[in-house]
Structure 1
Amino acid sequence: MSDARLKPADAWRRFAGTALGAALALLAAYLALAYALDPYDSGRSGLFSAGAVRPQGPRTALAIRGRDPAFTAAIVGNSHVQLIEPAKLSASTGLPFVNLSVPATGPGEQLLVLGWFLRHHPAPTALVIAADEYWCTDDPALPNAKPFPFWLLAERTSDYLRGLMRFSVAQEVVGRIGWLMRRHRKTAPADGWWDYEPDYLRLGYADDPRLVADRETRPPLVPDPHRAGPFPAAAAFARALNGVPAATPVVLVFPPVYAAGLPAPGSARETAERACKARIAEALAGHPLHTVLDWRVDRPEVADARLFFDQTHYRHPLAAEVLRDIAAALARLRANPLGPARD
């Protein structure tokens, strides 16, 4: 029967079927192309891997950084540990470190990043985990405050394929094609080093009166009702540590907070914060080779306003002190692997 003799309903069904078939074919072709190109170099397809990090944000760059065999030790956290320079920590310890910190993330995202690193490094030489106030949430879902590409680190291929069906990812596919075709490609640091000091200085955090006043604001005496316990991140941390070999040194760091941002001694806020830190530290009890470095306490270094941009983002001189503390802790653990230490 010719198209001219088709009933309108039949003609519409044929058109809809043809359009659907074409759309499905285009979708399949796109997914095949995107999977082959592997826009963030997650290692699922090695066809077009360039062995280098294309300039991009840390949320997606961690896919290649976290699986890079050149690094056997990792720093995991957010911007509160971002200024720990991996090359300097590597030089101090003799262990090749990558910094997998991602700004504005909490324990849910960070433990997923840890899992990604362990998936590709089943026997890491050291782990440094930074736990800040976001770990004190009472929400067992450990929700993320900012968008995060959970699909990129997913174990199931189906989850990864669904993630590829995003407009932003399609743009990255096009961008990766252009990057791969360039003879001289721009690259980002392989070890994840990202110095935030220039950004904070440009925004006026060093001398803007309003920002300086914010830095000096004291916190309430009562705790945030959603950070007063229980602390499900501690249980999630304990589960994550089950995948860490007993011979791997694990350093848990509570990053520095400016003195004005610390809870008042004896306040309910201080009690809640102590309880949270204790619960997270207890999660390490099942791992035989660990130590805790608590910089989130009142100590001379955190009283110097010149060492902070705001209450939780510190500057290079203080970052150097924290780095030395981490290196010394790792040296002690590696010299005495028979039991945990606590600082």
Structure 2
Amino acid sequence: MLDTLRTGLTNWIAAKRGDAERDAADGARWRRFGKALFGTFIGGLAACSAFILIVDPYQVVPFSPPMPRPNIDTSQRHFYPAIIRHGNYDSIIVGNSMIRLFDPDRLDKTFGSRLANVAMNAATPWEQMQMADLFLRVKGPPKVMIVGLDHWWCDERADQPDRKLTIRAFPDWMFDDNPWNDFLYLLNGKTIETAARIVMTNLGHGRIRLQPNGFSVYTPPDDTYDLAAAQQRIWGDRPHVITPVTPPVVLTEAERTALRFPAQDWLNAILSREGDRTRTVLIWLPTHISTLPAPGSRDAAVEAACKADMDAIARRHQATVIDWRIDSALNRNDATFWDPYHHRLPVAQRIEDDLATALAGKDAADDGAWTVRVRGR
């Protein structure tokens, strides 16, 4: 009996000792695995960081090596600051997608300038003025500044947080004067992907989306234009008619005085900093008649007041204002547009030619497509 108990106790102690040894071995293996995993993570992080800092896809790293960095990304907000900082341009075009089809090379012949088109898709007036502000700080007053105007410049709530920005991320860290804080925002999947695409493009396996001056034809090829599809995008199922409001709304003096257009204050501040060295052209861009306020409506009266206030700012700074955002045969023609807001490439080229005509002294188009509201320097 004692022998049996002694044998059992010995076996139990041996089993416990074996369990402890196995636990110790398992613990050692897990520690080695943890160290390997941590080392792999740190090594991968270091490799990704080194890759980003060397390729420097957004050209914000002060010590990155020289290499071609084509503009391959669809996010103009991330690529355009580098065009301003590093490009050899003395003039800019700011606005949203409605002015992105303006070709700087064609306009340079009119202005004798080196224009960069840094208009951004869905850019709010506040974002546009951040681009103009960056140019002023980095390059000084531009020789020429062309600003594309639309209904957002008449938004009475333009300074509210939900109107100053869109769902597109705005990299304000790229627009400040401190390059060293940019590192905080570079280590992410999007930057790694962009850096990899730049490398692949340099190796001949990618597509350059933007020319060095920011220009691109972002609309489909014009020979694929489908009028019926465009009309569906423009009108939907609505009747193809514009109904005036009668009797027309007339703002009272109190209502007119109460109107405020915050975006115009931002533009006024930029123009004040330019001084008399910049030739500024403000262009109310063409838009389909269906998007304009109904004639006689309160919205039409507010827009008329907005345009009048913009004219006053232009006169103050000797800027030119040319208006394509009017009831005209051009804007009533469905075939002018891909959708309610975006005109076709031949229309953009016509506007470029007409702009030269207007600046040469003509006050209005023969077909009523545009009119010079204010003639500046």
Aligned to 2:272: 242
| 1:1-343 paired onto structure 2 within 5 Å | 30-31=48-49, 33-42=51-60, 44-50=62-68, 53-59=70-76, 60-137=78-155, 138-140=157-159, 141=161, 142-151=163-172, 153-155=174-176, 156-157=178-179, 159-180=181-202, 182=203, 187=208, 188-198=210-220, 204=226, 206-208=227-229, 210-214=232-236, 216=240, 218=242, 229-287=259-317, 289-328=318-357, 330=359, 341=375
Quick check: 270-279 or 185-194, which moved more? 185-194
* Cα drift, residue 248 of structure 1: 0.8
Q: Does the CA-based 8 Å contact 2:154-2:261 persist in structure 1?
A: yes
Is there any run of 5+ residues in structure 2 with no aligned partner, and where? Answer: 1-22, 28-32, 250-257, 362-373
Code of the residue aligned with 2:196 in structure 1: it is V
Code of the residue aligned with 1:37 in structure 2: it is V
Cα separation, 1, equivalents of 2:204 and 2:339: 42
Q: Does the CA-based 8 Å contact 1:58-1:192 persist in structure 2?
A: no
* Cα drift, residue 168 of structure 1: 0.9
Cα separation, 1, equivalents of 2:309 and 2:267: 10
- Give the direction of change, closer, same or farther, for the CA distance of 1:183–1:16 in structure 2 (3 Å limit): closer
Quick check: 119-128 or 31-40, which moved more? 31-40
For 1:74, what is the secondary structure of its paired residue? Answer: strand
Cα separation, 1, equivalents of 2:131 and 2:125: 10
For 1:127, what is the secondary structure of its paired residue? Answer: strand
Quick check: 32-41 or 194-203, which moved more? 194-203
Aligned residues: 320
Cα separation, 2, equivalents of 1:112 and 1:299: 32
Code of the residue aligned with 1:244 in structure 2: it is E
Cα separation, 1, equivalents of 2:37 and 2:272: 50
Aligned to 1:225: none
% same residue: 24
For 2:283, what is the secondary structure of its paired residue? Answer: strand
* Cα drift, residue 77 of structure 1: 0.8
Is there any run of 5+ residues in structure 1 with no aligned partner, and where? Answer: 9-14, 223-227, 333-339
Code of the residue aligned with 2:74 in structure 1: it is G
- Give the direction of change, closer, same or farther, for the CA distance of 1:169–1:133 in structure 2 (3 Å limit): same
* Cα drift, residue 312 of structure 1: 1.8
Q: TM-score, normalised by structure 2?
A: 0.70
For 1:80, what is the secondary structure of its paired residue? Answer: helix
* Cα drift, residue 132 of structure 1: 1.0
* Cα drift, residue 280 of structure 1: 3.6
- Give the direction of change, closer, same or farther, for the CA distance of 1:184–1:72 in structure 2 (3 Å limit): farther
Q: Does the CA-based 8 Å contact 2:244-2:296 persist in structure 1?
A: no
- Deviations 1:220-254 (CA, angstroms, capped at 9, x unpaired): 969xxxxx952211111122223324211010111
Instruction: Return the index of the structure with the highest Cα Rg.
Output: 2
* Cα drift, residue 27 of structure 1: 5.5
Q: Does the CA-based 8 Å contact 2:234-2:290 persist in structure 1?
A: no
For 2:214, what is the secondary structure of its paired residue? Answer: coil
For 1:147, what is the secondary structure of its paired residue? Answer: coil
Code of the residue aligned with 2:73 in structure 1: it is Q
